[in-house]
Amino acid sequence: MNLIISFSGREGGNCDNISEYIATEGDTIIHFRNLHVHDCSGCRYECFEDVCKYRGDDIYNLFESMVNYEKIFFIVPMYCGNPTSLYFKLNERSQDFFMHNEEIYEAIVSKLYIIGIYGEKNKTPDFIPCFETWFEGTELNHRVLGIERHKYGQKMEDKILGVKEIKQQIDQFIWQ
What superfamily does domain 2-38+45-174 belong to in CATH? Flavodoxin domain (3.40.50.360)
- State how far the alpha carbon of 116 is from the alpha carbons of 26, 41, 47, 121, in Å: 24, 26, 29, 11
pLDDT score, position 125: 58
Tell me the per-residue pLDDT of 109-150, one tens digit each, with 9 for 90 and over: 999 999 999 888 776 656 778 888 888 888 888 999 999 888
Q: What is the DSSP letter of 121?
A: G
- CB atoms under 10 Å from CB of 103, counted, come to 8
The domain ranges of the chain are 2-38+45-174
Q: Which amino acid is at 122?
A: N
- CB atoms under 10 Å from CB of 106, counted, come to 12
Record the pTM: 0.93
Tell me the per-residue pLDDT of 43-102, one tens digit each, with 9 for 90 and over: 888 888 888 888 889 999 999 999 999 999 999 998 877 889 999 999 999 988 998 888
Helices (H), 8-144: 14-22, 46-49, 59-66, 85-100, 105-109, 127-132
Q: What is the distance between the alpha carbons of residues 129 and 144, in angstroms, rounded to a whole number?
A: 8
pLDDT-derived band at 11, boundaries 50, 70, 90: very high
Asked if 116 and 81 touch (Cβ cutoff 8 Å), the reply is: no
Q: Encode burial over 2-32: b for 16+ CB neighbours within 10 A, e otherwise.
A: bbbbbbbeeeebbbbbbbeebeeeebebbbb
